[in-house]
Structure 1
């Protein structure tokens, strides 16, 4: 576990990083607001009480782009970072950093995403005997509450808020993956967890609706990644049957079908919101399709290893719960850009870049996102 003084020093350096950022270029948005889990967290998990992941504050996390850890669960930038760069905006500071440094500028954007967050409230899982709070109790509804409290610092009158948010981009997720992760990794069957999906999708759609009511006009709502290709699942939910794996890419077919089911329900829910709020541009981001593009055709994107983690503690997929990335006994690959998975759970900067490019180029967004320039 990281020592308390070390964590305070790390947080101070994190706050300085966001103060020193500069903005270059111009685009259609004046700010970005992001919600979600560790796929989008730029540091909020560091401020959420007892430190639940001591390794993310150490190298090799952050080694590829920043040269030091930043609280991101990757070797470098995340999808939200690439989107901010594309639109000429600074990287989003974590909302909870404001509790430690009041000089941070949140008017160009802020990130409410927290590693471990779920779309559903913790009580849903507790009622079913599932343990989630040890990872995060900052669910999507909590993040929405933070945004609604924070809103008054950006604008005062309804018209002022309408003008401000009309020129802002809202990223609602990715969120929902942990709702399923906690259930699957505690032994629930796919058939059982499948019953959660309508509730998870409803929570995401409800958060999107709340943002529209608060004045959001441009919103991007991502679907889930193909979890059947993730080293953590390939390790912990392995099958002795060859037919359970996709012969082309080695992914677990049933788990990928589960991700597709979630994504199909989410797209249907977003279409209902479009009909109800025609003035809003609600974009579905197909993380699944964007990831499968390089999973099925790795040679076109510079990947040579898709099923193993770059950073991990050994095993067939280089994922080991007793030696997670950054822990004693773990090792790091020489070139993370040739791997899709960073630590067996999260992706590398290279993988995130490819997904972000697919979104910005319009290939994996419905309807296409507004072009940066």
Structure 2
């Protein structure tokens, strides 16, 4: 499966399935999403062009590239450490180990299915995320077959289908994160119609409509799936709150990518020829 390399900054947000054996114990997490959660699955996908298995990725925590699109840990890693379980292995890596006999079974602490560049819809290489779908809607490659409202409805329908599927195989604690403000990512510099000095309003309007659909979906989970609990992560509001008062959280620049090049650092991927990196990536 080939995925086009379009991003230098990868936005929230995806879908995490948490399997709880009791109300106080979290033995495993099963993660679905894009580059925000990808722990290295793309490294095992033949001919995949969306990669993070080269420096400076991984430089500040693991001290070597792991396939994560960050200098250290992903959101999923922080969640796992917070609840006290080991980091989830990329599914494709675990699958290879089981198939070649080096491991007898899959890890007991869950698996990470996230894949950078993936999306909710089939045309975006489905792996249950969403930010890439909306970004791709604005690419000047093809005329969209659906208007924005219908496109968002199709995305919500796909996520609904996923929650149905994972419920059938035993999921009872489902956490769905909203998308962040995709119209504010530095990679919007790749879009001819996108403004540089402000966020792309049309894109964020789609994001907010999609998030509203996700929140409604989560609220319906207990009714739709008896015995299940749904939790909605309001990432959009959280990110916008941080953007409005960056210094309060230790940031001096929330407009440009720390690693990349071109306008907003959004035209050249981190680690690729010509990239630049900010002085204090951990700050």
Correspondence for 1:336: 281
CA deviation map 1:60-115 (0-9, x unaligned): 11112111110011111111111100110111100100243243751111111111
1:50 to 25, 47, 50: 47
Q: CA deviation at 1:307?
A: 0.9
Q: Which structure dedicates a bigger proportion of its chain to helix?
A: 1
Structure 2 residue aligned with 1:32: 29
Where does residue 107 of structure 1 map in the other structure? 108
Which one has a bigger Cα radius of gyration?
1
Whole-angstrom CA distance in 1 between matches of 2:46 and 2:246: 40
Structure 1 length-normalised TM: 0.63
Show the 5 A alignment for 1:55-204.
56-101=52-97, 102-103=102-103, 106-121=107-122, 125=123, 132=124, 137=125, 139-140=126-127, 175-186=129-140, 192-204=147-159
Flag structure 1 segments of 5+ consecutive residues without an equivalent.
Answer: 1-26, 126-131, 141-172, 339-373
- Deviations along 1:18-59, one digit per CA (max 9) or x if unpaired, are xxxxxxxxx6211111111111111111111113135x1111
TM-score normalised per structure 2: 0.82
Q: Is the 8 A contact 1:66 1:76 kept in 2?
A: yes
State how far apart, in whole Å, the 2-side matches of 1:193 and 1:47 are: 34
- How far apart are the structure 2 equivalents of 1:178 and 1:197? 12
**Length, aligned pairs only:** 254
Q: Contact conserved, 2:221 with 2:229, CA < 8 A, in 1?
A: no
SS of 1:100's partner is helix
For the residue of structure 2 that corresponds to 1:273, the secondary structure is: helix
Gaps of 5+ in 2: 1-23
Relative contact order, CA 8 A, sep 6+: which one is greater? 2
Q: Tell me, yes or no, if the aligned pair for 1:205 and 1:270 is still in contact at 8 Å.
A: no
Alpha-carbon distance change, 51 to 256 in structure 1, aligned in 2, over 3 angstroms: closer
Q: Would the aligned equivalents of 1:303 and 1:337 in 2 still touch at CA under 8 Å?
A: no
Report the RMSD for the aligned CA atoms in angstroms: 2.3
TM-superposed deviation, 1:268: 1.5
Off by >4 Å, runs of 4+ in structure 1: 237-240
In structure 2, relative to structure 1, the CA distance for the partners of 1:337 and 1:256 (3 Å cut) is farther
- 1:366 aligns with none
2: distance between equivalents of 1:327 and 1:218? Answer: 39
Q: Distance in 2 between matches of 1:264 and 1:110?
A: 28
Corresponding residue SS for 1:309? coil
Equivalent residue runs for 1:241-260 within 5 Å = 250-260=198-208
- Deviation track 1:159-203 (CA, whole Å, cap 9, x = no partner) reads xxxxxxxxxxxxxx6x112222222123557x8344211111111
Does the 8 Å CA contact 2:41/2:113 hold for their aligned counterparts?
Answer: yes
In structure 2, which of residues 160, 171, 183 is the aligned counterpart of residue 216 of structure 1? Answer: 171
